[in-house]
Amino acid sequence: MLLRNGISGFNITFMDAPQLSKELSRYYQVVCSDELNVLLRYSGAELLLDHKHELNKAELEQVKYWKPNTIGEIVFNFWD
């Protein structure tokens, strides 16, 4: 992936680790790879969000600018 500033981005591979998830779920909300790999939809320059979120206006502008492909790329972004 080539970003707008010319720096190559990373392809993030999300995978499940059941034992680690079990241990961490006592303290954190653990998100499975199926949820992180959900593809985002765009209509032209507009991001179409079908999911409940708490992103503010500035964060949504960053998402529109960087155009991540998945929910996981928003959660584990490198642009801020």
Confirm whether 2 is domain-assigned: no
User: Does residue 13 belong to any structural domain of this protein?
Assistant: no
**Residue 40 within a domain:** yes
Inside any domain, residue 7? no
* Residue pair 16/24 in contact by the 8 Å Cβ criterion: no
24, part of any domain: yes
What is the dihedral angle through the alpha carbons of 20, 52, 45, 38, rounded to the nearest 10 degrees?
30
Inside any domain, residue 80: no
pTM: 0.75
Residue 18's pLDDT is 96
Summarised one tens digit per residue, pLDDT across range 46-65 is 788 777 889 899 998 998 88
Considering its fold, how many domains does the chain have in total?
1
Domain that holds residue 47: 18-75
Query: Does 12 fall in a domain?
Result: no
Residue 3 is assigned to a structural domain of this protein: no
How far is Cα 23 from Cα 66, in angstroms, rounded to an integer?
Answer: 33
